[in-house]
Amino acid sequence: MTQLAIHHPCKPAKRSFVTLISQAFELTRQRRKLALLDDAVLEDIGVTREEASAEANRFFWDAPQFWKR
């Protein structure tokens, strides 16, 4: 028996303007929360204070690659 696998990558779904704005607000909210975490919690998740501050200070359009799919 022969198996045939055909790979057709899907095109990224087009997102509406409302979705893009919503995701930008969510990313900003998450970064603000990250900046408020204390050192013990940051240590638990393996992030230094400097890394957390750098991430929190990024602009909302500077989103991770996986958000842009």
Lowest mean per-residue pLDDT among 20-24, 30-34, 43-47, 50-54:
20-24
Average pLDDT over residues 5-30: 82
What is the average per-residue pLDDT within 26-55?
Answer: 94
pLDDT at 11 over 90: no
- 14-35 average pLDDT score: 90
Distance from C-alpha of 14 to C-alpha of 23, rounded to nearest angstrom? 14
What are the phi and psi torsion angles at 13 (to 5°)? -70, 140
Q: What is the separation of C-alpha 68 from the centre of its chain, rounded to a whole number of angstroms?
A: 9
Q: What does the domain layout of the chain look like in residue ranges?
A: 17-62
State the DSSP string of 25-51. HHHHHHHHHHHH--HHHHHHHT--HHH
